[in-house]
Each structure stands twice: as C-alpha cells, then as structure tokens.
C-alpha cells in the first residue's frame, strides 16, 4: 500500500488518535481506521456503507457527480461503441486491452467451455416450470461446485483461471436453459461458430423445428447490454461476492451468493420492476399520479430505474442504453413503442420535478434496459438473469483481485448494540 500522504486526528474524551489518510489515483481520499478500535476503543457506524471504502481496487472507477464510469481507465461510452463484451471481459480480468492474438486465444477458451456437464440438466428438471429463472441460476451456479471440483481450490492460480473461464462461458447456457425450461421447450446447445451474444440469443430463441438465423442488430444490441452491465465497483452484489470469498468459499458458491443479492428489486431486480412499473403506468396521462406516489413519504412506492447510491448525475450507462433503445426499436420496426414513450415522458417530468432534482435522482442503468430486452423478445423474468450473466465477469474480476490482495482478510463487521444488557434467566412460573 502506498505510504499515507497525511493524517487525520480524532480527539475523543481528551485523547487524540492520528489516522493515516491514503490518496487514490482518482476519487476521494480515504481515512484508514484499522487502528481505531485498538487505539481509541470505538467503532465507526455506517449502515449501508455510504461513506466506507471496503477495499482497494484497480478495476472500475465511478465519479458519481460527473456521471463517469471507467473500466481500467477506459470510459464506458467508448467501450460500448468501440469494443465488445469479450474484449471488455479480458480488460476487466487482466487489466489491459488485449492484442489481436490475446483476444483470439481468450475468445477461443471461452467458446470452448460453453457446454454444461450433461448431468446438470437434472438440476433444471427439479424446478417447477414456473420457477423464477433467478432461482434456477442461484441453484445451478451453486451446484457447479459439485461438478467442477478441479477448479475450486482458490489458492491455485490455475484453478482460479479455469473457474473464471468456466463461469463466464457457461452462464449464458445456464440462463438460456432456465428460460427454455420455463417455456417447456428443449434445451438448445451452444455453438462454437457463433459469437458470445449470438450464441446466447440462439440458445434462447431457437427451436429444433426450424433454422434460427441470428439478427445482427439484435446480437449487437445484446452484446452492448452485456458490456454496459459488466462491472460497477463495490455494489451490493459485488460486495457480497467479496464477503463470501473472504471466508475461502469456492468461486461457484461466491458467484451464487452474488446472483442471490443481485435479484433484489433495489439492485439488479430493478430492470424487471421498472418495466412492470412502466406497464402499470400504461399511458402518459397516468404519469403525474405515479410521480406523486414516488414523492409521498407514506407510500413505499419508488420510481424503479431511478436514483443511485453513487450517481448524483446521469448514469452514463443509462445514456448509452437510451440511445440503444431508440436504435433497436427503430431497426426492429417497433415504431412508437407506447412503453418507450411513457419512459421518455416519465424521465422528462421527473427531472423537471424539484423532488427528484433536489435529491439528484436520475435514470440508472435499469431504466431503459428492460424496454430493449422486451423488444428483443425476452419476458421480464429474464431481465435480471441477463444482468447476472453480464455481471459475472465483474464479480470474477473483483473476486480474483481480492484473493491476490495481501491485505485481504475475512470480512467481519461489528455493530452498535442497543439490545438488553446482562440479565438472569427467569423460570417460566415467574414470568
């Protein structure tokens, strides 16, 4: 760790303690409080970690005020327009953009690991047909540790690499098979002559009864959605993966934990909740009613797809997603999609409303993604599995980074205890 550039002094009950301050390559300084409890006998208190840096990282940087998102220093809008998902995966995993040879080798390794062990089909068949695909993803990914024992030793760099490739390669197959199982249609096997996004679309939409030709417009839009969701600093699901990994859990268990956390409507589940909200609004004239509900402190309703813990400006991914929504819907001939019209008018009215402006609540990555995914033919239940598929590389990159961090240790936060103090047991006849 770089030598502290300066110190902060905390004075408590007449005692002072100097806390080192570390300066980042970008973003705010951090006060190193590791010696606070030992030195001053106090904890810090930060539910939701609004002011807490949990780790050091070199992978993704977010400037919430500027609405900036960098992956290894490269801005997301440039990656979305100039790169493609597997190249972004390489960048996140290894830190640099690949040469042509490196990219070809990486894509070949991923392509040749897209099949699942044939026995894993029986996990899918154990679920009800109406099981939410996220429930299937959590189960099947966790079960991968029962099939791929030769890549569960986290202390073996080679096994970490194999587990990384297997997870990135197999997640589209698992997500597509969860969808097929829900439909009652046969599983479609991956094909090595298709690119990552085309392979996923074919596994979702092909049926044995006819040839499936991948629409290049859809595969480009799909690939861009994967890229826009790839990683996002220490969000809730990534922090879950890091915390699970800190106990030494195997990579498949850690990613299953991340999937479970992502499912929540406050996090990755927001894309499904947002489209359901837009459909509930239905028409532009109903928007004021829903904005009023979102502002009403006594109403738990929130505008899904709006607001963010870090972005206090536009989420740059939402900006790219909005452009993509216009392009994809036009190219698909889904003219004047009423839901897209409601979304654009809702965004306009919300951003003109002092409540949202004052609280710096802007559309986030989930606001427009569902509109594109629905236009592509996916049911809302598949939105979050697609987010999980995309984010697997981010979880894996952060997991690998933590394991190679000499400072990492098991995560074990403390608490502000406000419960009963010591008291004796009372026999039941005396209660």
309 touches ligand SDX (CB under 6 A): yes
For ligand SDX, the closer of residues 198 and 392 by Cβ is: 392
Q: Which of residues 77-96 bind ligand SDX (CB under 6 A)?
A: none
Query: Applying CB under 6 A, what is the total number of residues that bind ligand SDX?
Result: 22
Q: Does 174 bind ligand SDX (CB under 6 A)?
A: no
User: Would you state the structure tokens that stand for residue 36, as one six-digit string?
Assistant: 């606070």
| Range in contact with ligand SDX (rule: CB under 6 A) among 141-149, 193-201, 206-214, 296-304 | 296-304
Q: In whole angstroms, what is the distance from residue 20 CA to residue 92 CA?
A: 30
Is residue 267 close enough to count as binding ligand SDX by CB under 6 A? yes
- Comparison of 132 and 317: residue with beta carbon closer to ligand SDX: 317
User: For ligand SDX, which is the closer residue by CB, 48 or 419?
Assistant: 48
308 near ligand SDX, rule: CB under 6 A: yes
Regarding 232 and contact with ligand SDX (CB under 6 A), the answer is: yes
- Is residue 307 a contact residue for ligand SDX (CB under 6 A)? yes
Is residue 360 at the binding interface for ligand SDX, with CB under 6 A as the rule? Answer: no
Task: Give the count of alpha carbons within 13 A of 224, CB side only.
Answer: 27
427 counts as catalytic: no
Instruction: Single out the catalytic residue among 285, 366, 405, 427.
Output: 366
- Report the distance separating Cα 61 and Cα 28, nearest Å: 11
Neighbours of 15 (CB within 10 A): 10
Q: Is 235 near ligand SDX (CB under 6 A)?
A: yes
Residue with Cβ nearer ligand SDX (161 or 353): 353
Question: Is residue 361 within the footprint of ligand SDX (CB under 6 A)?
Answer: yes
Asked if 191 contacts 158 with a C-beta cutoff of 8 angstroms, the reply is no
**Would residue 308 show up in a list of annotated catalytic residues for this protein?**
yes
Which of these ranges, 92-100, 146-154, 180-188, 267-275, lies near ligand SDX under the rule CB under 6 A?
Answer: 267-275
Q: How many residues does the chain have?
A: 431
270 lies in the site for ligand SDX, by CB under 6 A: yes
Catalytic-labelled residue, pool 231, 308, 358, 427: 308
Q: Catalogue the active-site residues.
A: 308, 366
Q: Report the interface residues with ligand SDX, using CB under 6 A.
A: 48, 232, 235, 266-268, 270, 294, 302-310, 359, 361, 364-366
């Amino acid at each position: 760790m770089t030598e502290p550039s300066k110190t902060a002094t905390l004075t408590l009950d007449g005692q002072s303690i100097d806390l080192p301050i570390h300066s980042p390559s970008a973003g705010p300084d951090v006060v190193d409080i590791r010696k606070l409890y030992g030195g001053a006998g106090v904890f810090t208190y930060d539910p939701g970690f609004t002011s807490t840096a949990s780790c050091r990282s070199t992978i993704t940087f977010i400037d919430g005020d500027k609405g900036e998102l960098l992956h290894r220093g490269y801005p997301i809008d440039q990656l979305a327009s100039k790169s493609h998902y597997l190249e972004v995966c390489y960048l996140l995993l290894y830190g640099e953009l690949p040469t042509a040879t490196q990219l070809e080798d990486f894509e070949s390794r991923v392509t040749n690991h897209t099949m699942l062990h044939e026995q894993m089909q029986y996990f899918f068949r154990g679920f009800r047909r109406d099981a939410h695909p996220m429930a299937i993803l959590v189960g099947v990914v966790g079960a991968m540790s029962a099939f791929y024992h030769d890549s569960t030793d986290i202390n073996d760099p080679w096994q970490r690499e194999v587990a990384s490739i297997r997870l990135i390669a197999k997640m589209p197959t698992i997500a597509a098979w969860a969808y097929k199982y829900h439909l009652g249609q046969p599983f479609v096997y991956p094909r090595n002559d298709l690119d990552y996004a085309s392979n996923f679309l074919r596994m979702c939409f092909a049926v044995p009864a006819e040839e499936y030709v991948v629409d290049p417009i859809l595969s480009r839009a799909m690939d861009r959605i994967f890229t826009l969701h790839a990683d996002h600093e220490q969000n809730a699901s990534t922090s879950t993966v890091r915390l699970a990994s800190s106990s030494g859990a195997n990579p498949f268990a850690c990613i299953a934990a991340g999937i479970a956390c992502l499912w929540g409507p406050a996090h990755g589940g927001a894309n499904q909740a947002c489209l359901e909200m837009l459909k509930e609004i239905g028409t532009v004239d109903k928007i004021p009613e829903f904005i009023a509900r979102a502002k009403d402190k006594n109403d738990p309703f929130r505008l899904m797809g709006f607001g963010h813990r870090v972005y206090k400006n536009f989420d740059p991914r939402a900006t790219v997603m909005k452009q993509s929504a216009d392009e994809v819907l036009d190219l698909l001939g889904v003219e004047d999609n009423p839901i897209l019209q409601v979304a654009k008018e809702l965004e306009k009215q919300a951003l003109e409303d002092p409540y949202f402006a004052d609280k710096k609540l802007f559309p986030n990555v989930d606001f427009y993604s569902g509109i594109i995914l629905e236009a592509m033919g996916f049911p809302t239940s598949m939105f979050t599995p697609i987010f999980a598929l995309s984010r697997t590389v981010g979880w894996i990159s952060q997991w690998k980074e933590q394991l190679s961090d000499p400072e990492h240790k098991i995560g074990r936060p403390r608490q502000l205890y406000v419960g009963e103090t010591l008291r004796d047991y009372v026999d039941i006849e005396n209660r």
